[in-house]
A = this chain, B = another copy of it.
Amino acid sequence: MTRPADATSGAGLAPLPPTSTIGILGGGQLGRMLALAAARLGFDTCILTPEEGAPASRVAASSLVAAYDDPVALAEFAARCQVATVEFENVPARVVDRLLAAGVRMAPGPLALATAQDRIAEKTFFRSVGVDCAPFVAIDRAEDLAEALERIGAPALLKTRREGYDGKGQAWIRAPQEAEAAFAAVGAAPAILEGRVEFVRELSVIAARSWSGEIAAYPLAENTHEHGVLRRTVAPAAVRETTAAAARQIADRLLTGLDYVGVMGVELFEMADGRLLVNEIAPRVHNTGHWTLDACEVDQFEQHIRAVAGWPLGPTRPFARAEMINLLGDEADAWAAYAADPAARLWLYGKSGARPGRKMGHVNRLTGALPD
């Protein structure tokens, strides 16, 4: 966290003309919806993914199937793209460095990616910009846990320091004697111990920042997770004015503090006293922003493409209330029922293998008008 402000940003970027190519690292559903949004604005996309026939590749002008750190593929990717972005946070730093060295503008840039990849760096950054989060202690060895538990108290949540998403790589420690097993359960790798947060609701804010520092945030969304995976989002969340303002301030501090460019998902815990703690940030479009696809004139995917391409950000005010539910695993087999429901706006990701819990699609519903 001693790096200076992100070297890739700063002076802004001249708006990228239509028919330019935007590179996307990652070929899943987020990349797919980014590619669709880019196409609307006349851009081509190039997908780099290790997966043959990936969801994003099937709607992109071109794709390269290779490991992310394959030097030949990266050189070709760099040659095709004017600017590049990511659909997942765990892009290796050496990949980002190589693209920057090849002259590709990256949005988000290396500082944001490095910060989001390391839970200690992430939470240290939160503190540095005055944003509250759960108490935490870095755990490098099993022996660190005893003292950490004394400081933070039990129950506490042990998470791997790197990787891990959708509840993977996590273990609860309810009493000191569970510490060793928990450390083994998360792979006996560098970890973080987080104090338990007695939150009343999970909220999130989807915000975007342009190369020139302009910030636009969608209204807060309220989220429900099941087994660590997002199940349902309702937006705009019913919150007090002060909560909305606090969330907006958090987003401003995070995006400005990272000299961030693009859309970021910020997961929040709402406490009984109304205070907001940041759970984690995702330096990319976010599942809790999928409701914007059908309830906003400019959705989070177009917003991200606008930011990445140096275009002015679009409006973020929804024209309706919305509810989003994820279709996980074989739930997507009910596509015919959703297709027949006139109130269901269906999104399917073009995936064939519906393993349990896999995100196969989502359904948005408009649930009413908003007051003027």
Contact = CB atoms under 8 A, between A and B. Distances in A.
A39 interface: yes
Contacts of A339: 15, 41, 306, 311-312
Nearest to A294: B297
Interface in A306-335: 306, 311-312, 314-315, 319-320, 332, 335
A335 B310 CA distance: 13
Interface string A21-43: 00000000000100110011111
A58 interface: yes
A361 interface: yes
Nearest to A361: B42
Interface string A278-294: 00000000000000001
A31 to B, nearest CB: 12
A32 to B, nearest CB: 7
A313 to B, nearest CB: 9
A39 B297 contact: no
A366 interface: yes
A164 interface: no
How many chain A residues sit at the interface, stated as a range, is 35 or more
Contacts of A312: 339-340
Nearest to A298: B345
A242 interface: no
B61 A61 contact: no
A315 B343 CA distance: 8
A58 B39 contact: yes
Interface string A7-27: 000000001011100000000
A350 B17 CA distance: 10
A349 B59 CA distance: 14
Interface in A43-78: 43-44, 58-61
Given A339-B311, A342-B315, A19 B350 contact: yes
Contact of A44 (B43, B61, B319, B350): B350
Contacts of A336: 15, 311
A215 B196 CA distance: 56
Contact of A36 (B19, B39, B340, B345): B39
Contact of A59 (B35, B314, B350, B361): B35
Given A58-B61, A340-B312, A350 B36 contact: no
19 contacts: A15-B339, A18-B332, A18-B348, A19-B351, A32-B39, A39-B58, A40-B348, A41-B348, A42-B335, A42-B348, A44-B58, A58-B60, A59-B59, A59-B60, A59-B61, A294-B297, A306-B339, A311-B336, A319-B320
Given A41-B348, A312-B340, 15 more contacts: A17-B335, A18-B335, A18-B348, A18-B361, A36-B36, A41-B346, A42-B348, A43-B350, A44-B350, A59-B60, A294-B297, A297-B345, A297-B366, A298-B345, A312-B339
Interface of A: 15, 17-19, 32, 35-36, 39-44, 58-61, 294, 297-298, 306, 311-312, 314-315, 319-320, 332, 335-336, 339-340, 342, 345-352, 361, 366
